[in-house]
Every structure is written in C-alpha cells, then in structure tokens.
Chains A and B, each alone.
Chain A
Amino acid sequence: MKPGHGEVLIAEGDVEVAEEHDALVDAFRRQLEAGMWAAVPRADAGGRRQAQMVSSFDDVPRDADRVIFFPRAAGGC
C-alpha cells in the first residue's frame, strides 16, 4: 500500500525456486526495514477472513499467495 497509489507490486516469485526465494526474502526484509508492517490475508475453515501479521519471512505460511505491506500504525488525531 502506497499513499497516492494504492496497491504496488513489490516482488513476485515462487518460494520453491531458490533464486526467486532469495529475491522474495530480500524484498520482504527491505520493506520491514523501511518501517512497514506485513500481513497475510487468510480464510479459516468457517469462512471467516482475517489477517495474520508476520514479522519474518519464515512466518509466512507456505501456501500464502501474497503478503501485504502497509505503513506501521501510529497514534493519531
């Protein structure tokens, strides 16, 4: 998520392919170092949708089709 732009594709690849896996890990790390939060949208067996916050690439479920990065929350108003 980017202000003034909405969704931006940062990286894509197959985690089973070594080179693409490394590129995804690098992209993931860069986003977290830039202060972003990462979440994986999920649906449970009952159909309930929720997000899973992840703080390292290893936390990303293997079957996840995407990770969404968004700016870190801060107190406002």
Chain B
Amino acid sequence: MLLAISASVIVVLVLLWEVAWPVASEKIACWRARRARIEVEGYDPGRERRAEQRARTLLRSCVNDEEWAMYNDLGFIRVWGGLTDGPMSDRDTRGAAYAYLIYPHKPIVAYMPQTRRLLSEYCVTFPDETRPYGSSRLPDSDDVLAKWMALTGDERRIIASANMHLPGRQVDPKQVKRDLWRLGQWEQARLRDPRRGAGSVHAP
C-alpha cells in the first residue's frame, strides 16, 4: 500500500514538474532579462537633452503663440484640417470642421471638435535611415514639428503616407477625450485672460 502511494506521489511530482518547469523557466528568463543592464550603443542622455532643447527652439520659431502655449501647457498641438471632404472622405465628415491632435511620437488623432467624436488615428514616423547619431528617432519637439509642417503644408500627402487605424488602437480614447476636455478648459482660460490669448488664431 505504502509503495503504491509513494509511486503515485512520485508520478504526480514528475507530471507537475513537466507542466510547471517550462513556465517557471520562462519567468526566470524574463526576470533575468528585466534586470540585465543593456548598453545602448551611441546613446547619450545629455546629447538627447540638448537635441530636445534645440528642437523646442526650432518649434517655437515655426508655430504661432497659441500653438506653442498649447504644446507647453498640454503636451500636444491642435491643427485644423483643411480637406473639404474630410480626412476619411466619408459622408459623415464631409464639409464638417475637423482637426488633428499632434502628440510627440504617437499617432496623429483626427476628431470633430463640435461633437468631440474621434475619427481615426494616423500612425506616421519620420525615420532617418542614416542614423547619424546612433538613434533614428527625432527629438520629441522635432517629431511634433515634422507632423505640424507635413499637416499644414500637404495634409493629403501625410494622410496618404500614414497607416490609418480606428481610434483606440495606439492612443487610449479616454486619454484623448480627457485631452479634449483639458483643451476646452485651457481655451476658456485664455479667453478670460486676454493677455494669455495674445497671438492666438482661431478655427477657419
């Protein structure tokens, strides 16, 4: 009897080991990978900070006062859309005012300001394949400026270059709704204080 129980226990332990070991070994490997120090070749935090400072100066010199204040205070810029048939060329948006939110290194989000309905996300990057300084990623403010220039300069081309997705694929719709609410509050505050609103340009 004791022998049978012992044999059963051994069999159960072996089976458990067989099932648990792959999972456990994967967890251990993940834990080791998380703790491992990864040397990023050519990455210099000081240089990246200086690059971002230069990029902010360049962005400041290109956008208007309202857009600059918006970026400073809220972390994104709104650009009004200019295509008469809307960004998606569908019947729902034809002729209606629409705008884009430009976030650094996130998709461009198209929405309808009157209803705050999110229309789509446009995933676009500006990769520099020459990687002159070890990274192919533009500083945050340069990424925003590149999107701003592309949208205001040739909206149709940038929209055609981007991968279009439904809202919520990359950017959390709740966050965008929150940002739109913050933008509304921010604009009201600027309207109440004329000094802060100097230099602003309203929707076409």
A binds B: yes
Decide if the interface of chain B is mainly helix, strand, loop or mixed.
mixed
Nearest CB on A from B68, distance (A): 10
Interface residue? B114 (CB, 8 A): no
Cβ of B136 < 8 Å from any Cβ of A? yes
Contacting residues, chain B, for A75 (C-beta < 8 A) = 123-125, 161-163
Are A7 and B163 interface neighbours, CB within 8 A?
no
A72 and B170 within 8 A (CB) = no
Indicate if B187 sits at the interface (CB-CB under 8 A).
Answer: no
A-facing residues in B119-145 (Cβ within 8 Å): 121, 123-139, 142, 145
Judge if B182 is at the interface, Cβ distance under 8 Å.
no
Of residues 31 through 77 on chain A, the ones whose CB sits less than 8 Å from some CB of chain B are: 34-35, 37, 39, 41, 43, 46-53, 68, 70-77
Interface size class of B (residues with CB under 8 A): 35 or more
Give, as a whole number of angstroms, the nearest-CB distance from A68 to chain B.
Answer: 7
Complex alpha-carbon distance, A7 and B194, angstroms: 33
Task: Say whether, besides A73-B126, A73-B158, A77-B165, A2 and B50 are in contact (CB < 8 Å).
Answer: no
A52 proximity list for chain B (CB < 8 A): 153
Check if A6 sits within 8 Å of B61, measured CB to CB.
no
B172 to chain A, nearest CB (A): 14
A32 CA / B126 CA spacing, docked (Å): 14
Query: For the complex, what is the distance from the CA of A3 to the CA of B129, rounded to whole Å?
Result: 10
